[in-house]
Amino acid sequence: MPEVAVVSDTHVPTRADTIPEWVRERMGAADHVVHAGDFDSAEAYDEVAALAADLTAVAGNMDPVTLDLPDVATVELGGATFVVVHGTGAVRNYRERVAGIVADEAESAAAAPPVVGVAGHTHRVMDERVEANGRTVRLLNPGSATGADPASEATMLTVAVDDGEVDATVRRP
């Protein structure tokens, strides 16, 4: 059963000095790391990439273009399809907008259910099912791994995936 460390919005160095040790340990122990953008620097990306056994990452609105990350990435893990996007845009229609992107990407990739959308941007933890384009999408947002403003604390998710069953757990210091 693969364990996936899901992180986002590290914002190192503009909003945080470093990724907390407990987050680094979880990423290092995971079978796969998903980062939903806003590394904030090449150094933060390099740190996450060095810790990860395997990494799926997308660009956030605060990432330097030199990172050359995709806006959307899809990966199959343990019988579930993960569609990763940062979620850049207004908070007002965040759920619907992100779920629409995830559903469209899953459709174009002919992804079999379950489809798990991973997004960041809001710095708020979320685990919800959202209907979009005739498909039910489970949306996960790990919050900010460093507790970067506007988050009130550092958070991440660990996700156990087994034969399409997805069990997400919020992790805090």
Q: Are 61 and 145 in contact (CB under 8 A)?
A: no
pTM score above 0.85: yes
Total domain count, the chain: 1
Helix (H, G, I), strand (E, B) or coil at 65: helix
CATH of the domain at 99: 3.60.21.10
pLDDT in tens, the chain (173 residues): 789 999 999 999 999 999 999 999 999 999 999 999 999 999 999 999 999 999 999 999 999 999 999 999 999 999 999 999 999 999 999 999 999 999 999 988 877 788 999 999 999 999 999 998 888 899 999 999 999 999 999 999 999 999 889 999 999 99
In one-letter notation, the amino acid at residue 164 is G
User: Which residue range forms the structural domain that includes residue 94?
Assistant: 3-171
Q: Are 20 and 146 in contact (CB under 8 A)?
A: yes
